[in-house]
Chain A
């Protein structure tokens, strides 16, 4: 039973446009959500996070939105750049267990 799902395996976007990556979760005990970016042959790099008490967190070109009632979060990248091309993982943390649960990842390709 997958508790964190990224239903789009891949996304292709033109440079300068907005990239929207989506993530759904099933466990209402999750209270902290993170996005990681991963290049081939490297480990995941922490990108941005959001606490369940917020519905939006912004850091430069990256914004994460959280809709708790829908158990859905999304990562917006605007404007998208070719260097953003990577695999993006959504992850959720339950403070009770202290464990991170990851989605399967979405491969983003930003075309010049």
Chain B
């Protein structure tokens, strides 16, 4: 079982604020991912990283940015939150080797007023 932690679990905040969603894992995984999910919909990949100082945009366009300065830490930032950013954000990590599953944190449910 991978140990991956996301904070905060829930966030309700006003438009225009800068937000950072935290994600940390203690498994030493090189690969980390951010997904966005709306109710009843599939998970969409918005960012991923294959190691320190490596970040890539995912399949779904997002106004958020990420950084990977340390292996265990992969924060996601929204510079100016808008109501359209309201969603659930899920962080995952994966070990090296073929056919390794991604392990998810419990997510941050973000509501922008």
Contact = CB atoms under 8 A, between A and B. Distances in A.
Interface residues of B, number: 27
A99 B48 contact: yes
Chain A contact-residue range equals 20 to 34
Interface in A1-39: 2, 4, 9, 32, 34, 36
A44 to B, nearest CB: 5
Contacts of A93: 99
Main DSSP-derived SS at the A contact region: strand
Contacts of A105: 40-42
Given A34-B101, A42-B106, 5 more contacts: A43-B105, A49-B101, A98-B31, A99-B48, A105-B40
Interface of B: 6, 9, 31, 33, 35, 40-45, 48, 50, 58-59, 90, 92, 98-99, 101-107, 109
8 contacts: A42-B107, A43-B6, A46-B101, A51-B99, A99-B48, A99-B58, A99-B59, A104-B40
